[in-house]
Amino acid sequence: MFCRNCGAQIDDKAAICPHCGVAQNTRPEESNSLAIIGFILAFFIPIVGLICSILGLKKSRELGGKEYGLAVAGLIISISFIWVAIVLVCLI
């Protein structure tokens, strides 16, 4: 791994660069799994996809916009599928 400040090669487990003393980001980045799950479920189980997408949208705001697009796409697809299902049921 390389230091994010000075670029020197350091140990992968180093919390602080031994060359410049700057703390390294040792936490792995969080992913917004709810947005991903919501997007996928929007095609198969729209109600569950809608709920996961709403929760994923909330979490994306906490994570600084991570997977925001997937959460919005899951919302749109879920709402569209639910709307089509309601229209089809009303026509029958």
pTM (2 d.p.) = 0.69
pLDDT over 70, % of the chain: 96
Q: How would DSSP label each residue in the chain?
A: -B-TTT--B--TT-SB-TTT-PBP--SPPP--HHHHHHHHHHHH-HHHHHHHHHHHHHHHHHTTSTTHHHHHHHHHHHHHHHHHHHHHHHH-
pLDDT tens-digit readout, 35-54: 999 999 999 999 999 999 99
38, 22: one domain: no
Please give the pLDDT value at position 88: 96
Q: Are 87 and 51 in a shared domain?
A: yes
10 and 51 in a single domain? The answer is no
pLDDT tens for 65-74 read 889 999 999 9
List, for residues 20-38, the tens digit of each pLDDT value. 998 887 666 778 999 999 9
- For residue 25, the enclosing domain spans 1-30
Number of domains in the chain: 2
